[in-house]
Amino acid sequence: MRGYLWRSAAEEVRKVGGAAETLLPHRSLLRHRIAFGLATDNKPADPWLAFAAVVSRRDMTSGEVLGQGERLTRMQALHALTVGGAWVTFAERERGVLAPGRMADLAVLDRDPLALPLEELASPSCRLTMVGGRVVHGDV
């Protein structure tokens, strides 16, 4: 999502016109019960930029919204980042949810991304990170 809509929505509209409204059709995927995850191959990897992009579908340069009908709710975006991410990497039995016997990979944020104002969605800070149940960043 980030590479095509976060930075270049206006360019995509110019290239393909109305077809750009359904570019990266996340809402349609959900409607058809097609599993997907949110990720980026950009460095540094920042899941909150992808989260903000699918919730707002707003181009960071022009402010234009592309494909409003394909927006996800915050809960749907969080599910795609966690459960969906585990599923697309064939790790759904080990990761994606906090449950007994799972990896216990998690991040504690300074703010709730489900409640932040839209313009602040891409900016929560990580206070604590656990991988495999062990703290690798921050203090308990």
Tens of pLDDT along the chain (140 residues) come to: 334 555 666 777 778 777 778 888 999 999 999 999 987 776 667 888 888 889 998 887 778 888 899 999 999 999 999 999 999 999 999 999 999 999 988 999 999 999 998 888 877 889 999 998 899 999 87
At residue 58, the pLDDT reads: 85
- Enumerate the H helices of the chain as residue ranges: 9-16, 26-31, 47-56, 74-79, 85-88
At residue 2, the pLDDT reads: 38
Residues 6+ apart with CB under 8 A from 11: none
Interior/surface letters 38-62, b for 16+ CB within 10 angstroms, e for the rest: bbbeeeeeebbbbbbbbbbbbbbee
At residue 20, the pLDDT reads: 76
* Omega before residue 100 within 30° of 0, cis: no
How many distinct structural domains can be found in the chain? 1
At residue 6, the pLDDT reads: 56
- C-alpha dihedral sign at 98, 78, 4, 35: positive
Give the range of the structural domain holding residue 39, as residue numbers without chain letter: 2-137
At residue 7, the pLDDT reads: 60
pTM score of the predicted model: 0.84
